[in-house]
Amino acid sequence: MAFEAFKDSDFELACKELEEPQVEGWEWFTESHGVTIYRMYNETSGLYEYKVYGVLDDVLPDVCADVYMDLDYRKQWDSYVQELYETEADGKKVIYWNVNYPWPMSNRDYVYARSLREMDYNGKKIWVVLARSENLPSIPEKDGIIRVDDYLQSCALTTDGKVGSRAFMRYYDNPKGSIPTWLINWGAKTGVPGFLTMMQKACRTYPEYKQQRLQQAQQS
């Protein structure tokens, strides 16, 4: 039986969050570029978990989901990627992701399961991507790189009724190490809208990238 990292209810919950934002008990954090972010304090880590609601006004949800899942393409548009690939370990299909951190901080790496589903939710098509860290002995930590072993993310996308997408994202990770908490929280405030802007640009050029890749494959 294939390993399943997520339950049906996990995907359904992401759909519900997109259609009916669940923000009771969450603190409004910031709003910019059509994106609203809420946060909730984690007593154990001293960090925050985030919920993000927004609109990508010129990117269709299926294209956005494809870009989100395309690891090779991400290496081209995301300058924070040092290493990124899918592998199988301990009977599980996972992603290994090594993230560039600015000097003098050490890089962080992630080992996580990820899954995409196209959902039919109340007659509406919603693309849901879920990700969660996995602790696998066969992918040990590397010298000089800090392993992030407490990470989760969910993303749901649907049409905005025009030529764009409505998006929901829930995100938490603990980068560990000696990074001041205020710096991590500042990074979330600027980094999440920044990432969505960067991804939106990547979506616009994705058809061109796929065409180039097809031509290269035909020539080889």
Structure tokens at 185: 């929280």
Closest C-alpha among 132, 173, 147 to residue 42:
173
In a domain? residue 72: yes
Residue reference for tokens 């693309």:
127
In a domain? residue 3: no
Domain count within the chain: 1
First to last CA, the chain: 36
Cβ neighbours of residue 206 under 8 Å, at least 6 residues apart? 63, 66, 67, 70, 73
In a domain? residue 120: yes
In a domain? residue 100: yes
What is the residue-level pLDDT of the chain in tens, covering all 220 positions?
345 679 999 999 999 999 999 999 999 998 877 889 999 998 988 889 999 999 988 899 999 999 999 999 999 999 899 999 999 998 899 999 999 988 788 999 999 999 999 999 999 999 999 999 999 999 999 999 999 999 999 999 999 999 999 999 999 999 888 777 777 777 777 777 778 888 889 999 999 999 998 888 888 7
Question: Structural domain of residue 129, as residue ranges?
Answer: 8-219
Q: What is the CATH number of the domain that holds 39?
A: 3.30.530.20
> What is the predicted pLDDT for the residue at 3?
52
CA atoms of 145 and 135, how far apart (whole Å) = 15
In a domain? residue 16: yes
In a domain? residue 2: no
In a domain? residue 1: no
Positive or negative: CA dihedral 175, 155, 44, 189:
positive
